[in-house]
Structure 1
Amino acid sequence: TRIDLPGVGKNLQDRYEVGVVNRVKDDWGILKGAQYKNTDTQYADWLRTKDKYTGSVYGTNGAVLAVIKRSANERSLPDLFCFGVLADFRGYYPGYSKRVVERLNCLTWAVLKAHTNNRAGYVKLKSTNPLERPEINFRYFAEGTPDQNEDLDSVVEGVRFVRDLTRPLIELGVVEEEESPGSEMTSDEQIRDFVRYQSWGHHASCTCAIGPDGASDAVLDSNFRVRGAKGLRVVDASVFPRIPGFFIVSAVYMIGEKAADAILADR
């Protein structure tokens, strides 16, 4: 150990996301010909019109619409981002994209819970071998930060909300069945269990946080310099004390620009 900085690896934060997957009666017309390859008709349409407005699926981010809302009136900020995708999307795991390619008759509502309370996750080295995978534990929900199930209940509210959006499609016969979590899952406790075991995240942040002088867990100063080290800075999603906004990419671009200014100012 060269420098003892207790905050390194602490404060790991992420979103909670979960997918409510519905099977529709017929394949979506807009996906006709979509094989998600550079040899299919959808790709040819995109290639021909990529510099202009186009209705090609490959010219979009995949979401057909989105809703930003509060999970409860007492939340200080809107904390749910619910968006629909014309795919069977149940999170990230090896081979997850096969469902997207093989099934063109699904509507998934992805429910993202932002401004989470959980701040007790961590990253730790297992050994001195730099090639060994570190121990990463997000300590989701109450395991990490007791909050009287506020985060969990917020995701449950998101699931109930997107089900309300889907109900008219079921009545019209457009949606045949909710496959996940399934229409038999109706009670709050059943939906809580679904969320506990099926939620995921992909915005890991905050394990090398900027903080003021004297703060016990502050790893970096305001110019991204590692405290106590010379010539070493960190500029990535780990620098935030709290995970920002709904999605982190624009905030990461911002700190990249800020760090470039800080480095140039020190030359």
Structure 2
Amino acid sequence: MEIKIDNLDVSLGNKKIINALNFIVNPGELLGIIGPNGSGKSTLLKTIYRVLKPDNGAIFFDGINIKERSYRETARQISVVAQHNDFSFDFTVENVVIMGRAPHKSILERNSREDYLMAADALKRVGLDGYEDRHFNTLSGGERQRVILARALVQNTDALILDEPTNHLDIKYQLQLMSLVKSTKCTTIAAIHDLNIAAMYCDRIVVLKDGRIKGIGTPENIFTSEMIKDIYGVKAEIFRTDKGEIHIFFSSARI
């Protein structure tokens, strides 16, 4: 699925957070969104998955303005892994994952055997095989994040929206999660805090600062010492291996 962001402005209260953004995410592409805190990453993602409404501009899924679709139809097209996932009720892990099937069902339709098999398979894919009967609110932050990814997988959409997906995860599960996302071949937009993770997995990078695009391109083109100093205010050295892999090393020296 192609996602097009067309001249998008978004405000929170009286403050404009997103300013005239324009970019296209190609079908099957993993696009990373990077930038310092307050740059507008989460606001942009929430607007794409329709928690927030734009002041101006539009968002298109495969050429169709999302305003022309119901929220239920949108949920059949994109699934979301958000930063914070808390429930007022103490659902089991299986209950949480199988919620991903809701957009595909009528209001009174019951879960099928296939739904439960899909949930079990998704949990296995995120390394939580056998967790079905565990209570979600008893899990660690990293385990919760993997459960929410499993829910997104069973939603069976053409696109994924990920807001800081590797938060709370140790390095093993950071790599596992990003590899799994990459393997889905879904069109993916991911706000990523860790620049090395972004360099490893993203096809292209959008750099945000103060709600505006400061750069867009491949990791090879985007990740330079000059860019990192300009955007984050820190010194960094960029190394490339013989295989073309990018590694970013930050300096502890004062600028």
Question: Which band: TM-score by shorter chain?
Answer: under 0.3
Name the structure where helix makes up a greater proportion of residues.
2
Q: TM-score when scaled to structure 2?
A: 0.21
User: Highest CA radius of gyration, 1 or 2?
Assistant: 1
